[in-house]
Every structure is written in C-alpha cells, then in structure tokens.
Structure 1
Amino acid sequence: MRKQAIEDAMKRIKRNINSFNGKFPHVGHHGSYERIENEDWTNGFWPGMLWLCYEYSGDRVYADAARKVTESFQRRLDSNTVLDHHDIGFLYSLSAKAEWFVTGNEDARALALRAADKLLERWREAGQYIQAWGPAGDEAQGGRIIIDCLLNLPLLFWAANETGEERFRRVALKQAEQSRRYLVRGDDSSYHTFIFNQHNGEPIGGTTHQGYSNGSTWTRGQAWGVYGFALAYRYTGDQAYLDTSKRMALYFIRHLPEDHVAYWDFNAPAGPDTYRDSSASAIVASGLQELLEHLPAADPDADELREGLMASVHSLIEHYSTMDDFAAEGLLKHGSYYVRGNLAPDDFTIWGDYYYLEALMRLERGIRGYWYAPQSDQGGQG
C-alpha cells in the first residue's frame, strides 16, 4: 500500500510541475492548490517534494524542476523578499540545502550557508532567543518564540558542522533549550508560542497564535516538537531532547481519535464537524521515525510508538490521501492551516503533502528528507 501511495503521489507531482508554471503551491481550494509567488514561509516544501521524488525514482524531470526552483530562492535572498521571520530554515533546508545533499552542488551549499547567516539575524541577545516574526523592536511581535522554530534549527546545526563556526551552534542550542524549557508543559503538552520581555529577556508567559486557546495544545505545534526535539538530539546527543521528543510523541498518540489522525487542536470540542489536521499527523509520522531510530530496542515505549506510527500512516493512506481522486492536485485531504482565522481550515496543505511523502519514502526506501545528512551522504546522484 505504501508503494502504491508513493507512485500515485509522484504522478501527481510530475503533473503539477507544468501546472504550477513557476508558482508555488500553498493551500488547497476545492481540489486545486492556490498558486503563490516565492514570498511565503511554505515555499520550501515544493522543492523538497521534488528532491524526494528524484531520490526515489532517479527521474531527472524532478531534479531539473527542483533546480529551477532553487534559482528563485537565490533571487529571494538577494532581494531580501519577505524574510522577516524565522522560517528561513524551512525555506532553504528543503531547497538549497536539499540540492547540496542530493547533488553536491557547491553553489547550492553556498546559498544555504548564506541563508543560515540570514537566520542568525533573528537572534535577540537580550532575551537569548530567535524572534519568530517581525523586525527587532516590533511592539506587536517582538519577544515571541514559537515551537515551529525547532524545524528551522537544523539549518544552523548543519552550518556549524560545515563551517566549524560556533556561532551557528550556540544559537541553535540556546533556542532548542529555550523551547524545551518554556514551550513544553509539565504534562508533555505544548504551547504554540511563548513571550518574553524583549528588552530584558524576562519570561512573560505561554500563549497561542493558531491553537484553540492559550491553554490548549495545537496539534501541529505538538508535532513540530516531536520531530524538532528528535532532530536536536540527532545533532547534539543531548538525552534531554530525546526524552522530550518521546514524551511529546506519547502525548500525541494517546490523545488521537479512533482513526489515528489528529483534530486541529487536542482541546477543541470533538464532534462530527470538528476540523482535522492531517498535516499534524504527517509531521509526527516523519518525526516518529527519527525518534525510533535513536531509541534503544529495549525502550519500554518503543512498541507503542511504532504501533502508533504504523496506525497513523495506514489511516492517512486509506482515509485521507487523494488516491481515489484523479483530478486532485494535493496528496492529503483534511489539513488545517489556521482554523480560528478561517484560513484553509479543511483542505490540502503543501507542508502536509511534504511530510506525508517524506514519511512514506523513509518507511519504504529509507529516504529521510533534508533536515540532516552525514558528510558521506552528500553529493550522491549529481
């Protein structure tokens, strides 16, 4: 079933290359993707999917399309187009860094390192954190970290490994620790965001931007934590990050409904009309594989985590994929972007599609995506 789902996804992606015509898929509207310019935080997921398809198939159609997309990311960084946020890691890990991992292209490596420098501009020394959104000193958005940033940190860890420059690692380590300390609650649930006094760094409190309420657990945020802390362990070997990832994963699995795919918030009143977020479950499907790779075989929770992974993947394929809808451009139905803001609360999301494909390919072929790569793996296919 996984192989069939991958082959179906690759056919849609190849068809979409010409259909998108240089634009980027963002969120769905009644079976089709909204096309946008390279100006959003989500734009890296499309080239990431293209590189996954190339690694899986060896078909240069995907690689050629991905390379053309990387040119757009070069222009975006050169012109500093809408980069006043922390999602530079999402953007450049799945475009330039992915191209370097797969082909060994030195220009792509240089672009990814420039992006890591750009991300460091978000560092706020007074509070010891990476500011999520807005310019320094912004009264509305200053002082804010969000759990999503954990998936931006691999760009910094990688840059530290590539250059030997400690400044990248120092910032990534501090941001990971601030996230673990302030965004993860005592019961292993999570805040979406935490606010500090941007002038002196004093912690103020946890809140949400996209969740049901300040005290609720937004499922996509919990998913970022599962995967992000597992990756932090990958880069640091710090057991605290592995333990945090595992606890958050168990919380996620144990709060799922019967079909093993998450609602948009664990605390939203559940009913027949409550929105799901298939993208949250897709992220966790990838994150669980990363987590399980590091857990010892005798870990008492390994079986529960593995069973949760397989149940979610099976449900995503059987009940949420578009395999039964030839005309659909997206891969995964019933994703939620921003429910409270009524922004694409029940349709395709390009990040959901990416993580769904990454999870399937890692299970089927060991292709794990572009958040990290050992030195010996770089420059593989040309």
Structure 2
Amino acid sequence: MWKQAIEDAVEKTRVNIGRFGDQFPHCSKNDEYMLTPNNTWTDGFWPGILWLCYEYTGDNDFLEAARRTVESFRNRMEKQIRVDFHDLGFLYSLSSKAQWMIEKDPQAKALTLEAADMLMLRWRPKSGIIQAWGNEGDELNGGRIIIDCLMNLPLLYWAHRTTGDEKYLDVAVKHADRSRRFLIRGDDSSYHTFYFNQETGEALRGGTQQGYDDGSTWTRGQAWGIYGFALSYAYTKDPLYLETSLRLAKYFLNRLPEDHVVYWDFEAPVTPETKRDSSASAITVCGIHELLKYLPADHPDRAFLEDGMNKSIRGLVESYSTMDMPGAQGFLKRGSYSVRKGNSPDDFVIWGDYYYLEALMRLERGHKGYWYEQV
C-alpha cells in the first residue's frame, strides 16, 4: 500500500512541476493550488516534496526542479524577502539543507547556515524565547512563542553540529525548555501560543491563533510538539524531550476518531460538518516514527504507538488520499489551514502533502527526513 501511494504522489508531482513553474503551492481553492512567489512560510514544503521524489526515483526531472527551488531560496535570502520570522527552519531545512544532505553541495550548506543566523536574530534574551512573529518590541507578539517553532529548532541544532559554535545550541535548548514548561499542560495537551513579559520574562498566559479557543488543543499544534520534541531529543539526548514527545503522542492517539484521522481541534464539537485536519495526522505519523527510534524494544508504550501510527497512515491512504483522483494536484484531501478564520478550512495544504509523502517514505524506505542529519 505504501509503495502504491508513493508512486501516485510521485506522478502527481511530475505533473505539478509543469503546473507550478517558478511559483510555490500554498493551499487549494476549488481543488487547485493557489500559487505564490517565494514569500510565505509554507514555501519549503514544495522543494521537500521534490527532493523526496528525486530520492525515490533518481529521476533528473525532480533533481533539476529541486535545484531550481534552492536557487529561489538563495534569491529570497539575498533580497531579504520575508525572512524576518521564525519559520526559517520550515523554509531552509527542506530546500538548501536537504540539498546539502543529498548532494553535499557546499553552497547549499552555506545558505542553510545563513538561514540559521537569520533565525538567531529572533532570539530575545530578556524573555528567553525565539520571537515568532512581528518586530522586536511588538506590543502583541514581542513576547510570544508558538508551538510550531519546535520544528524550526532543528535548523539551529544542525548549525551547532556543523560549526561547533555553542550559541546555536544554547538558544535552541533555552527555547525548547521554555516551550516544554509553558506550552505543554499537565494533562499532556498543548497550548498553541504562550505570552511572556518582554522585559522580565514573566509567564503571562497561554492562548491560540488557530485553535478552537485559548484552552483547547489544536491538533496540528499537538502534532508539531510530538515531532519537534522528538527531534530535540535526537540532537540533544535530553530525556525530558523524549518523555514530552511520548506524552503528547499518547494524548493524540487516545483521541483518534473511528477513521483514525483527527478533527482540527480536540475540543471542537463533533458534528457532520466538523472539519478535519489530515495534515495533523500526517505530521504525527512522522513524529511517532522518529520517536520510536529512541524507545527500547520492550518499552511498555511501543506497541500502542506503532498501532496508532499504522492506523493513522492507513486511514490517510484509504480514506483521505487522492489515489482515486489521478488529475488531483494534492495528495491529501481535508487538510485545514485555519478553520478559525475560514482560510482553506477543508482543502489541499502543501505541508500536509509533504508530511504524508515523508511518512510514506519513512515506512516504505526507512527514510529519515531532512530535519535531522546523522553525523
């Protein structure tokens, strides 16, 4: 099943290269991807798909398309086109860093280190966080973190390993520790965002930007936490990160609906109209696969995690994939960008497609993703 699903995604990607040209897919409208120039937080996922397809097929069409996207990211960095936010890990881990891991291109390595340095400019020592959005001192966002940033920290961990400079590790660990302490609740659910006093670092309150309400658990946020803390453990070997990833994963899997693909928020009232987020399930499959690498064979939760992971990917392939829609542009139906704001609440989303293909490649080929580089 995984092989068939991968090959379906590969063929759709081959067609999409011509459809997308030099633009980048974001979310769909009327089943067609909306395309943008390289200027949003989601633009790394398309090159990530291209690199995965190249590794699966060895086909130069995918290689050349992937290389062209890296050139676009080089231009984005040179011209400083919307690089003043925390999502540089999403952007450059799946473009230039993936190229470095596959081809050992020294220019790709240098570009990825530039991105890490740009991310370091988001560090706010007074509040002890990497600021997600906005300018330093911004009244609303100046002291704000979001759980998504856990997937940007691997860029800093990698930069530390690559250069030996402790500053990258120091910032990544401090932010991960703050995230673990304040974004993760005592019942193993998570806040989407958290606010700190910008001058003193005092913890103020949790909240949400995407979830059902401030106290609910946005499923994609929980997924970012599962995968992000597993990756923090991969780089640091701090057992608290592994424990946190495990706790978040069990919370997620214990709340799967009958078809094993989650709704957009665990607290959203379930009716026939309630939106799903297939991308949250795809991210979680990748995160649990990463987490399982570090659990001993006799760990008491291992069978539960494996069963939940396999049911989730099977649910995605059987009920949410576009394998029966050969002309479709996306791989996964029923992804949601922002249900709260009515922004692509039930559509193709490019990150859902990326994590779906990464999950399939992990299960079929033992692929390790582009977030963690073994040295």
TM-score (norm. length: structure 2): 0.99
Matches of 1:198 and 1:322 in 2, distance apart?
46
Who is 1:157 aligned against? 157
Who is 2:237 aligned against? 237
1:29 aligns with 2:29: yes
Who is 1:287 aligned against? 287
Matches of 1:185 and 1:288 in 2, distance apart?
20
Report 1:44-193 matches (<5 A): 44-193=44-193
How far the C-alpha of 1:84 sits from its partner, in A, is 2.0
Matches of 1:46 and 1:10 in 2, distance apart?
12
How far the C-alpha of 1:57 sits from its partner, in A, is 1.1
Report 1:272-351 matches (<5 A): 272-351=272-351
Question: Residue 372 of structure 1 aligns to which amino acid in structure 2?
Answer: Y
Higher relative contact order (CA 8 A, sep 6+): 1
3-state DSSP class of the match of 1:206? strand
Matches of 2:52 and 2:357 in 1, distance apart?
8
1:195 aligns with 2:195: yes
How far the C-alpha of 1:243 sits from its partner, in A, is 0.5
Question: Residue 356 of structure 1 aligns to which amino acid in structure 2?
Answer: Y
Check whether the contact 1:31–1:327 (CA below 8 A) recurs between aligned residues: no
Matches of 1:16 and 1:42 in 2, distance apart?
16
Who is 2:209 aligned against? 209
Residue identity (%): 59
Check whether the contact 1:50–1:62 (CA below 8 A) recurs between aligned residues: yes
Question: Residue 223 of structure 1 aligns to which amino acid in structure 2?
Answer: A
Question: Residue 354 of structure 2 aligns to which amino acid in structure 1?
Answer: Y
TM-score (norm. length: structure 1): 0.97
Q: What residue ranges of structure 2 are gaps of 5+ in the alignment?
A: none
| Deviations 1:234-281 (CA, angstroms, capped at 9, x unpaired) | 001011000100010000000111111010000000111100000000
Matches of 1:306 and 1:374 in 2, distance apart?
23
How far the C-alpha of 1:199 sits from its partner, in A, is 1.8
1:364 aligns with 2:361: no
Matches of 1:213 and 1:362 in 2, distance apart?
34
Who is 1:379 aligned against? none
Q: What residue ranges of structure 1 are gaps of 5+ in the alignment?
A: 376-382
Q: Any runs of at least 4 consecutive aligned residues in structure 1 with deviations exceeding 2 A, and if so which? A: none
Check whether the contact 1:96–1:111 (CA below 8 A) recurs between aligned residues: yes
Question: Residue 295 of structure 1 aligns to which amino acid in structure 2?
Answer: L
Matches of 2:286 and 2:302 in 1, distance apart?
15
Matches of 2:36 and 2:161 in 1, distance apart?
34
3-state DSSP class of the match of 1:294? coil
The size of the alignment, in residue pairs, is 375
Question: Residue 301 of structure 2 aligns to which amino acid in structure 1?
Answer: D
Check whether the contact 1:359–1:368 (CA below 8 A) recurs between aligned residues: no
Matches of 1:59 and 1:373 in 2, distance apart?
23
